[in-house]
Structure 1
Amino acid sequence: MTETINVAVFGAGRIGNIHADNVAQHPHACLQYVVDVHEPSAAQLAARHAAQVASVEQVLADPGIGAVVIGSSTDTHADLIQRSAAAGKAIFCEKPVDLDVQRARACAEAVRKAGVTCMIGFQRRFDPTFAALKGRLDAGEIGEPEMLVVTSRDPAPPPASYIARSGGVFKDMLIHDFDIFRWILGGETVSVHATGGSPGLPEVAAAGDISHAAVTLRTRAGSLCQINTSRRAAYGYDQRFEVLGSKGLLQAGNVRPTQVVAWGADHIASDKPEAFFLERYRAAYALEIAHFFDALTHGTQVRTTIEDGIKALELAELATQSWREGRAVECSV
Structure 2
Amino acid sequence: MNRVTVGIIGAGRIGKLHVDHLLLIPQIKIKAVSDIEVSHLQEWAESRGIPVLTTNYQDLLADSEIDAVFICSPTTTHAQIIKEAALAKKNIFCEKPVSFSVEETMDALEAVEENGVQLQVGFNRRFDRNFKRVHDLVQHGEIGQPHILKITSRDPEPPSLEYVRTSGGLFMDMMIHDFDMARYLLNSEVVEVSAHGTNLLDPAIGEAGDIDTAIVTLKFANGALGVIDNSRQAVYGYDQRVEVFGTKGTAMADNCRSTTVEVSTREGVSKDKPLYFFLERYTQAYIEEVTQFAKTISEGHEVSCTGRDGLQAERIAKAAKESLLKGCPVKLDHSNQEITLNS
- Aligned match of 1:271: 272
Structure 2 residue 17 is the aligned partner of structure 1 residue 5:
no
SS at match of 2:79: helix
- Aligned match of 2:45: 46
User: Structure 1 pair 164/242, CA: closer, same or farther in 2 (3 Å)?
Assistant: same
Q: Which runs of 4+ in 1 moved over 4 A?
A: none
User: Which runs of 5 or more residues in structure 1 are unaligned?
Assistant: none
Q: Distance in 2 between matches of 1:231 and 1:41?
A: 31
SS at match of 1:92: strand
1:137 alignment partner AA: V
- Aligned match of 2:146: 145
SS at match of 1:255: coil
User: Which runs of 5 or more residues in structure 2 are unaligned?
Assistant: 335-343
SS at match of 1:64: coil
Contact 1:33 1:46 in 2 (8 A): no
1:42 alignment partner AA: L
TM-fit CA distance, 1:97:
0.2
- Aligned match of 1:215: 216
1:212 alignment partner AA: T
Post-superposition CA distance 1:89-145 (Å, at most 9, x none): 110011000011100111001101111011001111100111111112222111111
TM-fit CA distance, 1:167:
0.7
2:86 alignment partner AA: A
- Aligned match of 2:128: 127
TM-fit CA distance, 1:188:
3.2
What's the Cα RMSD here?
1.3
Q: Distance in 2 between matches of 1:48 and 1:20?
A: 12
1:1-333 paired onto structure 2 within 5 Å: 2-51=1-50, 52-54=52-54, 55-333=56-334
Q: Distance in 2 between matches of 1:263 and 1:40?
A: 54
Q: Distance in 1 between matches of 2:109 and 2:179?
A: 19
Contact 2:4 2:68 in 1 (8 A): yes
- Aligned pair count reads 332
SS at match of 1:321: helix
Contact 2:134 2:185 in 1 (8 A): no
User: Structure 1 pair 265/44, CA: closer, same or farther in 2 (3 Å)?
Assistant: farther
Q: TM-score, normalised by structure 1?
A: 0.97
Q: TM-score, normalised by structure 2?
A: 0.94
- Percent of counterpart pairs with the same letter? 41
TM-fit CA distance, 1:261:
2.3
Post-superposition CA distance 1:239-260 (Å, at most 9, x none): 1110001010110011112222
SS at match of 2:195: strand
Post-superposition CA distance 1:262-311 (Å, at most 9, x none): 33331322221111111110000000000001111111111100010000
TM-fit CA distance, 1:41:
4.5
Q: Distance in 2 between matches of 1:257 and 1:41?
A: 34
User: Structure 1 pair 3/249, CA: closer, same or farther in 2 (3 Å)?
Assistant: closer
Contact 2:151 2:227 in 1 (8 A): yes
SS at match of 1:65: coil
Contact 1:34 1:42 in 2 (8 A): no
Q: Distance in 2 between matches of 1:211 and 1:305?
A: 29
